[in-house]
Chains A and B, each alone.
Chain A
Amino acid sequence: MATRMCMRLHLMRKSKFLTDRPTAFLKDTCTRTLKTYKSRRPVLSELFHKRQSLGPEPERHPSAYGIWNYDSEVYAFGKRLGEDFKDEILKTSLVLRSYQEEDEKAKEILLDDYSEENDDDDNTVSRDSNEQLAKQGEKLASRYVKAYLRATYPEMFEEGISAVHDYLTSDEMFAYVGSQLGLKDIILKMDYPPTDEDYSVTMKAVIGALAASQDVARAEAFVRDFFIVQLVAEDINEIWDVINPMGVLTNILKKMGLSPPEPRLIWKSAASTVMSVYHVGLYSDRTLLGRAPGETVSIAEEMAARDALKKYMNTQDHRAPLKFREAAEKLQIDYDRKNASLSNLSSGS
């Protein structure tokens, strides 16, 4: 069945590509003209300009070059990632809705011709699209990413966890990872190459397919190894932009029963130049909470508040690295756990 689908896809593509190659056609028909010395230059020049105006060749699917085995490609896709997928489920996860609709139409036409000759036909079994699997995969990834982040950053506020989670499970991230894992050629779609949306949906569906083929734990390890890993070179304090750091810090101190933060200018230099540096420290009850440099006093003050927040949430630049591989297995992951929230902080005080 898969072979037949591939052939159909291939034929559709082939018919499309045949139409946009007029120069080759011209060159074949102009052989007699080209033999004449005098007319050679204008003809070639015309052909050249026609080629230029057409622009670059469209990107073609590898099957257009005649070397293609869909079953092997799908099998290798699973093996490459170190996973044992169930073949049928993985193949379902690669079928986009648009392709499935087109396929249904083609099948109806074929069926009308075919049913006159033969009634029982096993090739008419319709294949589902990957939407259901994509929903499952997205849910699974989202749940695990949140639980992993909460276990790794127990002191971070829930808003921050959500921001990092949104970054990791954004459509762009799914599309990026999907495009880098070799989905490009095996996604079943009429057009080529696939768009970011196609990559995103298919990547989610692959996660869903893994959970369905093996178990949820295996799919979660997949999410960790390919999505949470993308956090390695990132600064999570920049992913979550705290809007009013000084206000947040005041609320925290209030809740802890300490006096509000008191900014003090520790150092300043080159005040009247473009290279000015102010160094502000934040104190509460004579203890230093955080300190930071800045171009102006207000910038330095805000940065000092961010520094104090980083210390409070334990997300400093020198925090322990994220846990992967064997270390990640030992991580205590509690799916019901929730971190403290900023909204609770302000309402409770």
Chain B
Amino acid sequence: MSSRSMPSTFVKNAMQNGLGRYVSQLQRITLNFCKSHSDSLGMRNFVEHHLMDFSKMNPGVVVYVKPRRHRPPRIVATFLNGNTQTFNVSSLPKEDICKWVEAMRTRSGVEVMRIRKTWHTDTPSIQGPWHPFLFKDPVNNTTSFPEPSLYSVQAGESASDRLLQRAEKLRQEQTAVASDITPEQEQITVGSGS
């Protein structure tokens, strides 16, 4: 399927969640499993080892555990916006089920869709809309064209000028260094060198 025919959306936040306080969007989670079948083993282990910790750490999530005989195990997650996600977890180890439950806990509950951009804003510019006169100087309203000062090239220094200036500077420095060294200092340096 091409991306044009697939439904797409922008990144959405459930009701400005997190700006004031964060509300976990998972409302209730139902764990279905068989008490005897082997493909529910992971789910049974999850219920035995991790479920109590999960429900203690997330008092805002209602957990229902419902055995159903000789049917594959599944997770039914209901979110605050009314959406429900159901998926089969048959033959999955308890570690994988932990990951799926965690994924449901941290989800916003909006339908999974292709996202056009990884960012979205309702206020694209706080500087106001662009218009053709945004950066124009109103002084030009009263200018009569052609105005030579608008197009004439400013005569600045050339590259050879800059080279000559540098050479002059170097020469001055050298003479300054030479004048600093007195004949006595010269003798000392010569004496210590021998």
Contact = CB atoms under 8 A, between A and B. Distances in A.
Interface of A: 62, 67, 69, 72-73, 75-77, 79-82, 176-177, 180-182, 184, 224-226, 228-230, 232-233, 235, 266-267, 269, 277, 279, 293, 317-318, 324-325
A73 B64 CA distance: 11
Interface of B: 14-16, 19-21, 23-24, 27-28, 30, 59-62, 64, 66, 78, 80-82, 122-123, 125-129, 131-133, 136, 138, 141
Given A69-B64, A266-B141, A317 B128 contact: yes
A317 B122 CA distance: 12
B20 A324 contact: yes
Contacts of A82: 21, 23
Given A279-B133, A293-B129, 8 more contacts: A69-B62, A76-B27, A76-B62, A81-B21, A180-B14, A180-B15, A232-B19, A324-B19
B19 A76 contact: no
A235 B138 CA distance: 29
Contact of A235 (B30, B123, B129, B141): B123
B136 A80 contact: no
B15 A177 contact: yes
Contacts of B129: 293
A82 B21 CA distance: 9
A325 B60 CA distance: 21
B104 to A, nearest CB: 14
A279 B132 CA distance: 10
23 contacts: A67-B66, A72-B62, A76-B59, A77-B60, A79-B59, A80-B23, A81-B23, A81-B60, A82-B23, A176-B15, A177-B15, A180-B80, A181-B23, A181-B80, A184-B82, A226-B15, A230-B15, A232-B19, A266-B133, A279-B133, A293-B129, A324-B20, A325-B21
Contacts of B16: 229-230, 232-233
Nearest to B79: A182
Nearest to B27: A182
Contacts of A293: 129, 131, 133
A81 B64 CA distance: 20
Nearest to A269: B132
A75 B63 CA distance: 12
Contacts of B125: 317
Contact of B136 (A72, A182, A267): A267
Nearest to A231: B16
Contacts of B61: 76, 80
